[in-house]
Chain A
Amino acid sequence: MDAIRITNLVKRYGLVTAVDDLSLTVASGKMFGFLGPNGSGKSTTIGCLTGLLDPTSGRIEILEKGFDANAASLKRRMGVMPENLGLFEPLRAHEFLAFVGRMYGLDERSVRTRVTELLDALELTDASKILGEFSTGMRKRVAFAAAVIHSPDVLFLDEPFESIDPAGVALMKQWLHRYVQQGRTVFLTSHVLETVERLCQEVAIIAAPGKLVWQGDITTFGREGAIVYDGKEFEALEPLFLHLTGERHVELNWL
C-alpha cells in the first residue's frame, strides 16, 4: 500500500514556480527522506502534503485517499512537525500538548496520560516555563511530541533533529524505528545527510524549482557498498547528493 502518492504536483506563487511537476510515491512502513538544497521546494511540498498550501495543479493521495486542505478525516491520521514549529509561545508545554491532543479528538484521560508520558520521556517536565522561554532544542522536542501525540499513521517531520542534543535525537530515532516497524510511515526532510543515510530506507532528492532529480533505495549503500548513477559509483549519500544538486567550488582570495 502507498502511504503517499504525489502526481504531477505544481505549486506556483505568481510567476515563481516553487514545485515543478513533482511525482513520487512512498510505500507504507517506510522511513522516507526528502532532500534538497535550500530553496528547492521541500517545505512547499510538505505544505501541500499537509494542507497548508493549495497545489496549483497535480494530485495528492495519502493512505490511498485524495487529499486536500479540507480532508479532516485524513488529517486525523497525519502528524506534522512544521519547519518553524508552530508553537503557541505563551502556553506551557503540557497546556500546548493537551490542546493539540484535544484538537485531534483524544479523550481527556488519554490526553493527560500521553502528555505526562511524553513530557517525562522528552525531559520537558518543568511546568513553570512557557514555551517562549524554552531553548531551541526543547521547543523542537515539544513540536515533535505534538506531532506524535495522537499516534498518526503518517508522520511529516521538517528538519526534526537539528538543535536537539544527541540523547534526544537517539530517543526520537528509537521511537521512529518502532513506529515504522508497526507499518506506519515517516516522511522527513533534513540537511544532515549522515542521519538520513542511517535512518531512512528510501530517499528522494529534489533541486530548485522543486524538480525530482533522484529517488531510490539507499539501503543499497549498506548491502552493496555503493550506488551507481551516471556511470559513477557513490559510496555515501553526501557525494551522490552533491553530484545531483551541483557541487560548487568557489575561492575567495580574501578569505
Chain B
Amino acid sequence: MDFQLIGLLVGLRYKLLWAKIRTRNGRIALFMAGYLLLALVGISFALLGATGGMVAVKAGKAERLVQGALTAIFVCATVTSVMLGFGLNQVFSDAELRRFPLNSRERRVARHGAGLADPFWLLFLALYLGIAFGVYLFGTGNLLLGALAALLLFACNYLAAQAIGQAIERLMEKKGGSFVLPVILMAVAFLPSLLAPMLRKNPAALRALVRVLSYTPPFGAGTMMTRANAAALGGLALIAWWGVGLVAALVGLERRPSRIRIAQTGSIRWETPFAHMAAWFGPVYAPLVEHWLLFLFRGKRFRLSYLMSLVLVPFLLLIWSGQGTHGGDPFAGAVGVFAVAGLAPAAAFIVNQFGYLGSAFRRYFLFPLDPAAALRASSYTLIGLCSVYVPLAAVAWVLFAPVSTGVRGMAMLLCSGIFGLFLFHGLGLWTTLFGPRCSDPSKTVGNDLSLLGNIVVVGGMIALLLTPRFVGEFHKGLIRPDQWPVTAVLAALAIAFYLISLRCASALLPRRREWLLAVLEKRA
C-alpha cells in the first residue's frame, strides 16, 4: 500500500479546498470566519460531550445514558451527512483517482481517507472523544479503551453514512427509485412518532427495543467507555464486527457498476405532457418552460428533492405543530411549516437556477431573445412546481391537525405559505445572480450550494420555522387565526418583493453574464 501517495492525496483535498476558495474575491475572510466558527462549534461540542459524560456518571446510570447519547449522535451524524450532504462530498471519485499509480484498494483508502478528514466528521469525532473523556474523569472507565471506542464508533458512523449514501444512489438508478425512496423515508420518518406512544404505554416493548439496540455500535462503544472489564471487550468485539460488516457492505455497493437507465422509447415523441403544461405560459415562454421542465425532471436530484417533499412537508407539519409532543402552540408551528412548504421541494434549484446547466448556460445569450426571459421562465417554472405544495400542506393539515383552526386559520396558513413561497423565490433570484455554484444535477445527495445559497436555504428555513413557534411560545395567543390579515399583508409584500426582484434580476443578468459564464463553466 502506497501510504505516501495516499497521504499526499488526502493533503491535496485540503489544498484544493483552499485553492477553490482563494480564487473568489472577498471570500477568504468568510472562509476563515466559517472555519473559525466550525472550530468553536467543535470545541463546544467537545465540551458538551465531556459534560454529558460527567452528568451520565453522576446520575448513576452511566452506561445506559452514554449509550443513549452515543446513539443520538450517531443517528444525527448519519442523517445530517446523508440528507444534507455534509461530509459526503468526495473530492476524488474513483475515476479521477485512476490517473495516479494506485490499485483499486489504494484508491478506496485514499478516497475514504479524504472523506474521513472532512471537517464535518472531525466535529463528530471531537464529540465522541469528549464523552469518552467525561466518563473517564468521573467514572470507572479506562481512558485508552474509551478513546479506542470513540475512534471505532467514529469510523463506523462514517462507514454507515457512506453505505447509506451509496444505497440511495443505487436505488435512484433503478426504475421507480424516485418513488420508492420517499416511501421508505416516509416509513422511517413516521416510525418514531408511531413508536413513542406505544413504548410509553408498554415498558416490555421498550425493553425489547433496548435489547435490539444493544447490538448496535453506539451501545458497544458505550459499554467500552464505561466499563473496564470483560464486558468492555464484548463491546469492542461488537464494534469491530460492525466495522467489518460496514466495510464489506460499502465495498460491495461501490463495486456494483452504475447502471444507466435506458428510456423505454426509441422513437421520437413530439407531444409530451411537459409541452402541454408549458403551453400555458404563452408562445414566448412555452419553449423555455418546456426545456426547464425536461431539464429538472430528468435530473435525479430534482426528482428526489421534489418527491421527498411529499413526505417532508406533512412530516414537518406533524412534528412541528406539536403532535406527539407536549407543549408548544400547534397552530404557530403549522404557520412556520407552511412558510417553508414552497422552498423545500426544490431549495437547491431555487437559489442556484443556472448552476446545474454547465456550459449550456451560454445558449441563452446566443439565442435571439432577451436572456432574462430564460431566468423568468426558470423562476416561473420553479414557482409553479413549488406552489403545489402549499395546497398539499393544507390537505395534510386538514387530515392531521391536532387542533381545529376554522376558515380563518386556514386562510392564515395559506397566506403564510404564499408569503414563504414568494419570499424564497425572490431571494433565490438574487442568489442565482450573486451566489451561483457549478453543480451536478445527477448527484442525488450532497450540499452543493454556495455560501450565499446555504445562508438563504438553511438560515431561511430555520428562521421561518422557528419565528412563529417562538412568538407563539413567549406571547401566548399572539399567533391566532383571527389575525390572518397580518399574514395576508405579509403575503402581498412577499409577492411585491418577488416581482421587484424579478425585474431587477432581469436587468442585472446581462451585466452579470461574463462572471456567471466563468463560474458555471468552472473558469472562476
- Which residues of A are in contact with B by a Cβ distance under 8 Å? 50-54, 69-70, 72-76, 78, 80, 82, 84-92, 94-95, 98-100, 102-105, 112, 115-116, 119, 126-130, 132-133
Q: Is the CB–CB distance between A103 and B369 below 8 Å?
A: yes
Q: Is the CB–CB distance between B295 and A91 below 8 Å?
A: yes
Query: In the complex, A43→B269 CA distance in Å?
Result: 36
Q: Out of B357, B366, B513, name the residue touching A75 (CB < 8 Å).
A: B366
Query: In the complex, A100→B363 CA distance in Å?
Result: 9
Q: A87-B360, A90-B298 are in contact. Are A99 and B291 (CB under 8 A)?
A: yes
B290 contacts A by Cβ under 8 Å: yes
Q: A95-B294, A103-B287, A128-B266 are in contact. Are A86 and B367 (CB under 8 A)?
A: no
Q: Is the CB–CB distance between B368 and A86 below 8 Å?
A: no
Q: Out of A54, A74, A87, A94, name the residue touching B268 (CB < 8 Å).
A: A94
Q: Taking CB as reference atom, which chain B residue is nearest A108?
A: B270
For B514, list chain A residues within 8 Å (CB). Answer: 52-54
Q: Is the CB–CB distance between B369 and A52 below 8 Å?
A: no
Q: Which one of B39-47, B164-172, B257-265, B421-429 contacts A?
A: B257-265
Q: Taking CB as reference atom, which chain B residue is nearest A76?
A: B368
Could you list 26 examples of A-B contacts with CB < 8 Å? Answer: A50-B366, A75-B368, A78-B366, A84-B362, A85-B359, A86-B359, A86-B360, A87-B359, A88-B291, A88-B360, A88-B363, A89-B358, A90-B294, A90-B295, A90-B299, A94-B268, A95-B291, A99-B287, A99-B290, A100-B363, A103-B287, A127-B266, A127-B267, A128-B266, A129-B262, A130-B298
For A80, list chain B residues within 8 Å (CB). Answer: 366
Q: Out of B260, B361, B365, B367, name the residue touching A104 (CB < 8 Å).
A: B367
Query: In the complex, A103→B364 CA distance in Å?
Result: 9
Q: Is the CB–CB distance between A84 and B517 below 8 Å?
A: no
Query: In the complex, A91→B412 CA distance in Å?
Result: 41
B441 contacts A by Cβ under 8 Å: yes
B254 contacts A by Cβ under 8 Å: no
B402 contacts A by Cβ under 8 Å: no
Instruction: Please tell me the number of chain B residues within 8 Å of chain A, measured between CB atoms.
Output: 38
- Which residues of B are in contact with A by a Cβ distance under 8 Å? 260, 262-270, 287-288, 290-291, 294-295, 298-299, 357-363, 365-370, 441-442, 510, 513-514, 517, 521
* Smallest beta-carbon distance A91→chain B, Å: 6
Q: Which 3 A-B pairs have CB atoms at the shortest separation, nearest pair first? A: A90-B298, A75-B368, A102-B287
Q: A88-B291, A91-B294 are in contact. Are A51 and B358 (CB under 8 A)?
A: no
Q: Is the CB–CB distance between B359 and A84 below 8 Å?
A: yes
* Smallest beta-carbon distance A80→chain B, Å: 5
Q: Is the CB–CB distance between A51 and B267 below 8 Å?
A: no
For B291, list chain A residues within 8 Å (CB). Answer: 88, 91, 95, 99
Query: In the complex, A95→B294 CA distance in Å?
Result: 9
Q: Is the CB–CB distance between A105 and B368 below 8 Å?
A: yes
For B265, list chain A residues within 8 Å (CB). Answer: 127-128
Query: In the complex, A132→B366 CA distance in Å?
Result: 21
Query: In the complex, A115→B442 CA distance in Å?
Result: 27
Q: Is the CB–CB distance between B366 and A116 below 8 Å?
A: no
Q: Is the CB–CB distance between A128 and B262 below 8 Å?
A: yes
* Smallest beta-carbon distance A47→chain B, Å: 9
Q: Taking CB as reference atom, which chain B residue is nearest A132?
A: B442
Q: A75-B367, A103-B287 are in contact. Are A84 and B295 (CB under 8 A)?
A: no
Query: In the complex, A52→B514 CA distance in Å?
Result: 7
Query: In the complex, A148→B266 CA distance in Å?
Result: 25
For A94, list chain B residues within 8 Å (CB). Answer: 268
Q: Is the CB–CB distance between B368 and A72 below 8 Å?
A: yes
For A51, list chain B residues within 8 Å (CB). Answer: 365-366
Q: Is the CB–CB distance between B368 and A116 below 8 Å?
A: no
For B288, list chain A residues within 8 Å (CB). Answer: 103
Q: Is the CB–CB distance between B263 and A128 below 8 Å?
A: yes
* Smallest beta-carbon distance B294→chain A, Å: 6
For B269, list chain A residues within 8 Å (CB). Answer: 127
For A103, list chain B residues within 8 Å (CB). Answer: 287-288, 367-369
Q: Taking CB as reference atom, which chain B residue is nearest A94?
A: B268
For A82, list chain B residues within 8 Å (CB). Answer: 359, 362, 366
* Smallest beta-carbon distance A201→chain B, Å: 26
Q: Taking CB as reference atom, which chain A residue is nearest B297?
A: A90
Q: Out of A52, A112, A130, A133, name the residue touching B365 (CB < 8 Å).
A: A52
Q: Is the CB–CB distance between A69 and B510 below 8 Å?
A: yes
Query: In the complex, A104→B264 CA distance in Å?
Result: 30
